[in-house]
A = this chain, B = another copy of it.
């Protein structure tokens, strides 16, 4: 039973999370500190996310390219805030050769192979890309440049958690260049909408779209937009960010263009990214004490068929027909014919792995022209006729996708509290958790003070926050809209 392997959420949420990651076969720690191994099942989910995002980027006019993973150290320094933000977590390449250890076995760094200038393993690629854009952009005819890259990046982390915070992670980073400020701002928010759409329609993970405070902004951005999701333990997860970079990188790398009036201007920039962190969000939005729960749109196996008690000719023939009908609808299906494992064992295994629908096919049921169906999200068991079974399953998968989103939205609604005094604020953050919607006076000082006292940070100023006269929950100073506070991953 999954329950024997995985700590229950109510006992220890963090141990539960690690249990899901391990026992569903998603990832594991590697011998390299802070770097994870993404196992085949976990990677198959990530591939589905990546392929869908890639399709959405291309549909909105973006193209992919690839830039070097190494960044000359001096590049990083060119944008003052950028280097400040990343210098402390850089993996630095200093040598390019090993040699036999003159004093023993093995190999040591060859001291004669020291690099003239150290190379940084990219923590993000603004610097190397804007250094390149300088050559690619001369006139407004070269704009906009709408480029994305799928890549690995490295940010040295001391405390790591599979998917949520790892030293090396996989992501995509979009880097666009525009001739007009408004066009760059529109790109930033268009991508934010795209991320939110992906999160809701594919991950069934509701998100709040908002803008970050100055204190939480990306290092080098004028504005950072974010999608924030709420995990089951009441903590927020920053799930994707889209940055309006103004002309900061254009100025740092001297990227100018001739506008239509033949005058020279600096180029306007955006950058945006989502990463394997989304896998953590997916796990913590839907999964339960029985294991992973996957929305059908991202499940590598959408339907598993288990013969009861073992495969035989009658069952196989019926299953072949079911498989053909499901595949004709583009539904991915696995038939588990392993004779060494008992049905109950298989049931648990696929529940642990979050397969949305299980069909049990037994001889007795077949004689009655039916099969048994279990949906992973609600664990409901029902019988279904063999007639029109594929249509029924197709509808069931759509229902599960919808149900997961509705459930997550309801959870978020319950865990979003409007608060107007600081005592309640502290109490809600400490005991109930979730998003606290409160007035804030707009200063970094207040923001940091609240963080110090409660560990809650401002997740975002929601884009749809309504104008409302109010007083800062901490200082009592005037405020005209509520912001969202929460403890966060």
Partner of A90, one of B35, B65, B88, B97: B97
Q: In the assembled complex, which residues on chain B have CB atoms less than 8 Å from the CB atom of A334? A: none
For A37, A44, A98, A119, which residue has the most chain B Cβ atoms within 10 angstroms? A98
Q: In the assembled complex, which residues on chain B have CB atoms less than 8 Å from the CB atom of A73? A: 98, 106-107, 109
**Contact of B128 with A31 in the complex, beta carbons under 8 Å:** yes
Indicate whether A310 reaches chain B with its CB closer than 8 angstroms.
Answer: no
A109 to B88, CA, bound (A): 10
Q: In the assembled complex, which residues on chain B have CB atoms less than 8 Å from the CB atom of A66? A: 37-38, 43, 170
**Contact of A92 with B90 in the complex, beta carbons under 8 Å:** no
Given known contacts A97-B89, A107-B73, A44 and B68 CB-to-CB distance under 8 angstroms: no
**Contact of B147 with A30 in the complex, beta carbons under 8 Å:** no
Indicate whether A379 reaches chain B with its CB closer than 8 angstroms.
Answer: no
Bitwise interface map of A from 404 to 445 toward B, beta carbon under 8 Å scored 1, else 0: 000000000000000000000000000000000000000000
Q: Which of A335-363 contact B (CB under 8 A)?
A: none
**Contact of B90 with A96 in the complex, beta carbons under 8 Å:** yes
**Contact of A63 with B37 in the complex, beta carbons under 8 Å:** no
Indicate whether A16 reaches chain B with its CB closer than 8 angstroms.
Answer: no
Nearest CB of B to A130, in Å: 12
Q: How large is the interface on A (under 10, 10 to 19, 20 to 34, 35 or more residues)?
A: 35 or more
Closest B residue to A156 by beta carbon equals B96
Bitwise interface map of A from 69 to 102 toward B, beta carbon under 8 Å scored 1, else 0: 1111111110000010001111111111111100
**Contact of A121 with B109 in the complex, beta carbons under 8 Å:** no
Can you tell how many copies of this chain the complex includes? 2
Indicate whether A152 reaches chain B with its CB closer than 8 angstroms.
Answer: yes
**Contact of B98 with A121 in the complex, beta carbons under 8 Å:** no
**Contact of A96 with B107 in the complex, beta carbons under 8 Å:** no
Nearest CB of B to A371, in Å: 28
Q: In the assembled complex, which residues on chain B have CB atoms less than 8 Å from the CB atom of A106? A: 73-74, 77
**Contact of A37 with B132 in the complex, beta carbons under 8 Å:** yes
Q: In the assembled complex, which residues on chain B have CB atoms less than 8 Å from the CB atom of A67? A: 30, 37
Given known contacts A30-B128, A40-B64, A77-B105, A35 and B70 CB-to-CB distance under 8 angstroms: yes
Q: In the assembled complex, which residues on chain B have CB atoms less than 8 Å from the CB atom of A156? A: 96-97
Report 20 cross-chain contacts, Cβ distance below 8 Å, ordered by A residue. A30-B128, A30-B132, A31-B131, A32-B68, A32-B71, A32-B72, A35-B70, A37-B65, A37-B68, A39-B65, A43-B65, A47-B64, A66-B170, A69-B168, A70-B168, A77-B106, A89-B97, A90-B98, A92-B109, A94-B95
The 8 A-B pairs at the shortest CB distance, nearest first, are namely A35-B68, A40-B63, A87-B98, A38-B66, A77-B106, A96-B156, A92-B95, A94-B94
